[in-house]
Chain A
Amino acid sequence: MAERELGGGAVAPGTVLAERTEAPVTRDLLARFAAASYDSNPIHVDIDFAKASGYPDVFAHGMLIMARMVRLANDLAGGTRLRSVSTRFVSITRVGDAITSTARLARYEDGPTGRVAVVDLIAADQAGDIKLKGEATIALA
């Protein structure tokens, strides 16, 4: 259903195209993402290293939160029509944070390879604090 929502260029800017709230971040998830993503930085899994680096605890990989946020755009793109994604990592995601990703239509425009939808992406925690702020471009089917 989500894949139809770009509507071949007929959706109003500002429309929420997709939204998903994930289960709270756990240490187990961080360990599994570290292994699956080859990101071996101990700051995400070793509390002693995190403390020695000036943090109260480990925190989530930015790329974990980005991957889940980009999944919304990739689903809207049918898994094959994503042209670009970018994000700014605004603040750290802590263990226990339940992140909601939202995809909202920004506009349609003519790109170098045809018409695309530009989609604003946001990831925010349970308090509404923004973690990631990004953008995706999706070729229209």
Chain B
Amino acid sequence: MVDRSWIGKDLGSFVVEVAPKEVRRFVDAIGDDRPMYRDVEAARAAGLAGIPIPPTYPFSLMLDREDPFVFLRLLDIPQGKILHAEQRFEYHAPLYADEPITLTEKVADIYDKKGGALEFVVLDAEARRADGTLAVTMRRSLVVRHG
């Protein structure tokens, strides 16, 4: 059983800055050839202030830290037992490469199904720009398989 007393607790805050080459590496891996992710002029032509962070990359921002799976250690969950169950992103303002992004995360919920054979851990996170503007909110649900 995952310790339910974690519900509502903060998993900390950290700041990352994404280099343009990290954006390029990501869009190369997923096969996205949109020029705005590779060329700042193309981004500006689309009305953006710089190279934008791709829509699902904020998930990677959460892993771009010294201990990417800190919550597994804190909640005492083996890495081989988890699967991604659901993921959601809401976009409020753009995020850009070469700008500090502040990330915070908390445990939103922990619950079980099938008589405890499956446990779900729901983590809510947000990404803010340097001036404090809320840019992206995200929710990831992970399922822990027991037995």
Contacts and interface: CB of A to CB of B under 8 A. Distances in A.
A87 B48 CA distance: 27
A70 interface: yes
Contacts of A92: 83
B87 A86 contact: yes
B86 to A, nearest CB: 5
Interface string A67-102: 110110111001110111111110010000000000
A109 interface: no
A130 to B, nearest CB: 14
B5 interface: no
B80 interface: yes
Centre residue among A29, A40, A53, A63 by max chain B CB count within 10 A:
A63
Given A63-B87, A84-B90, A74 B55 contact: yes
Contacts of A52: 80
A75 B31 CA distance: 13
A18 to B, nearest CB: 13
B117 interface: no
A35 B63 CA distance: 11
Nearest to B147: A54
- The number of chain B residues touching the other chain, given as a range, is 35 or more
Contacts of A75: 34
B25 interface: yes
Contacts of A37: 26, 29, 57, 59-60, 63
Contacts of A73: 55
B30 A67 contact: yes
Contact of B30 (A33, A35, A42): A33
B52 interface: yes
B88 A40 contact: no
B29 A80 contact: no
Contact of B31 (A22, A78, A85, A86): A22
B46 A36 contact: no
A129 interface: no
Interface in B85-113: 85-91, 94
Interface of B: 22, 25-26, 28-32, 34, 36, 46-48, 52, 54-57, 59-60, 63-64, 68-69, 79-91, 94
Given A41-B69, A67-B54, 11 more contacts: A29-B29, A32-B28, A36-B28, A38-B63, A50-B80, A66-B56, A68-B30, A71-B30, A74-B34, A83-B90, A83-B91
12 contacts: A33-B30, A36-B29, A41-B69, A49-B80, A54-B80, A64-B29, A66-B56, A74-B32, A79-B52, A80-B94, A86-B86, A86-B89
